[in-house]
Amino acid sequence: MTVAIAPVLQYFDNAGNPLSGGKVFTYTAGTLTPLASYTDRSGSTPNANPVILDSSGRADIWLSTNVAYKIILQDSAGNVIDSVDNYYAGADPSQLVAAGIVPATGGTYTGLVSFTGGVTFDGTPAQDLATLDSLGIASVQIANLWMNSDFAINQRIATTAADGAYGFDRTLALCETGSLTLSQLAQPTDGIPYAMRLLQPDATPKRIGSLQIVESRNCLAYRGSSLVFAPKVRCSVAATVRVALVAWTGTIDAPTRDVVNNWASTTYTAGNFFVANTLPIAVGATAVTAGVWTDVAVSSASAGGVVVPSTLNNLYMVFWTDAAVAQNVTLDASVMRAGKGTSLPLWTPPDAEVEIAKCMRYTQYFVGSGGGGVCATGGGEFTQSFHVPMRIPPTYANGGNGTVLDGLGAISITGASLATAGVSSARISFTAAGTTPGRGANVVSQTSAFYAEF
């Protein structure tokens, strides 16, 4: 950037006459080393040095900002009319430092920079982002790859989940053996609206954790980039919690649900701790104090971390206890953050309507669902429209019996199954002994679940 010496620049000789043919030399301050001036604000075209004034003593002279110049003015015969040293176009950095506007290093800093109210910038990206947020200057966040990041959504109303099975929406359970007990916490502490609790229910100690798999359409754009993953966890005992970003390099959108191959391995590579067709991007560990919410972050900049490989087809985001934990130990998680970069990002609550729509791309439950149809002997069909289009034509689970009303009274359904399915609706066939052929039927109180998960 350049700044003009004066809006309308005109020089005069000592008698007050325009300095026709005068010369303006520009040097680095304190020297006679030529330093360029420019013809306009863009700074793209240097002036001749010296600049020769026109017959009215005028010229266009623009100087680089925040650079100290020595300027010497001569008449056409070479006589010095005036000179000035240490001239700044724009603010003098020393004055800005004295006023406390910029640090003494002229734009960078190595120590704390304090502000009214006690907040500081210390050069640590995470701290500086948090400081900006606390000042109300900016809410800095990333596009979050983790869906249902505060675990507010649990369409299954899941209370248990086996290893590699879904519990809370978009979230898979991890445990060495058996299953985990799941529950939702409401407002466990300030700043956390909801949390997921994993409880170890078995007498034999085991490692526990959780993961989420990112669909290809949401992660392929991150190939060649740095990634960061930062869950906030709380354990009922002091423990080391591991966290990992792992690329699935197998068939696109067909990842193995359970990413762990060998819980006992301490080699965090494919075929060892992790399953085949994976490539760890970053693996880290954080010691957490019992009962204290702690960020356990890992990124491509962590020791051993790499940028997202071009072979990534899906992404695993994983956290687990590094050692086996005893019966009734709990591991709570919330404020899940994952996205581009290497610094711990800030988190803001997801929009409830947007988040449930994202989750319903993979899972949809209908309670009291139903529709009209024409009975064949012993049954009929109806169409179920989905709330939002699903990822792929889903599979179907009949969650319980319902009733058929056919004008003769309620008749119990003895079964329902998926006839056909698209991404926007599915056709359900049902059997109901005693229905009258040819009569209109209305299926009610039928619980149905549709899954388009990995």
Please report, for residues 111, 175, 304, 310, 334, the alpha-carbon distance to residue 343 in angstroms, rounded to integers and kept in the order given: 19, 29, 16, 22, 18
- Residue 101: CB partners within 8 Å, gap ≥ 6? none
Q: What is the pLDDT at residue 139?
A: 44
Q: pLDDT tens, 301-321?
A: 999 999 999 999 999 999 999
% the chain with pLDDT above 90: 65
Q: Interior CA angle at 294 toward 154 and 177, to 5°?
A: 55
Q: Interior CA angle at 27 toward 21 and 30, to 5°?
A: 130
Bridge partners of 285, per DSSP, are 242
Tokens of 346: 């800030």
Q: Which of 14-23, 82-91, 329-338 has the lowest average pLDDT?
A: 82-91
What's the rounded mean pLDDT across residues 17-24?
95
Q: What is the pLDDT at residue 113?
A: 54
What's the rounded mean pLDDT across residues 345-368?
90
Q: Which of 36-50, 110-124, 239-253, 317-331 has the lowest average pLDDT?
A: 110-124
Q: Mean pLDDT across the chain, nearest whole number?
A: 85
Rounded to 5 degrees, φ, ψ at 373 are -170, 170
Helix intervals (H) in 309-443:
352-360
Residue 248 predicted with pLDDT over 70: yes
Strand pairing category for 179-189 and 227-235: unpaired
- Which domains, ranges and CATH numbers included, belong to the chain? 1-106 (2.170.14.10), 109-140 (no CATH), 160-348 (2.60.120.260), 361-451 (2.60.40)
CA distance 308 to 317: 13
Residue 102 predicted with pLDDT over 60: no
Model confidence at 138, pLDDT cuts 50, 70, 90, reads: very low
Q: What is the pLDDT at residue 106?
A: 46
Residue 394 predicted with pLDDT over 70: yes
Residue 265 predicted with pLDDT over 90: yes
Q: What is the pLDDT at residue 285?
A: 96
Higher pLDDT, 75 or 107: 75
Model confidence at 428, pLDDT cuts 50, 70, 90, reads: confident
Integer Rg of the chain from CA? 34
The DSSP annotation for 229-259 comes to EEEEEEESS-EEEEEEEEEE-SSTT---S--
% the chain with pLDDT above 70: 78
Please report, for residues 52, 164, 165, 166, 194, the alpha-carbon distance to residue 154 in angstroms, rounded to integers and kept in the order given: 77, 17, 14, 10, 11
CA distance 390 to 254: 16
CA distance 427 to 374: 13
What's the rounded mean pLDDT across residues 149-171?
97
Q: How far apart are the first and last CA of the chain?
A: 53
User: Which one-letter amino acid corresponds to residue 401?
Assistant: N
What's the rounded mean pLDDT across residues 148-153?
98
Q: What is the pLDDT at residue 143?
A: 80
Q: Which of 54-68, 203-217, 433-447 has the lowest average pLDDT?
A: 433-447
Please report, for residues 42, 48, 86, 425, the alpha-carbon distance to residue 51 in angstroms, rounded to integers and kept in the order given: 18, 5, 19, 77
What's the rounded mean pLDDT across residues 9-28?
93
The owner of tokens 């056919």 is 406
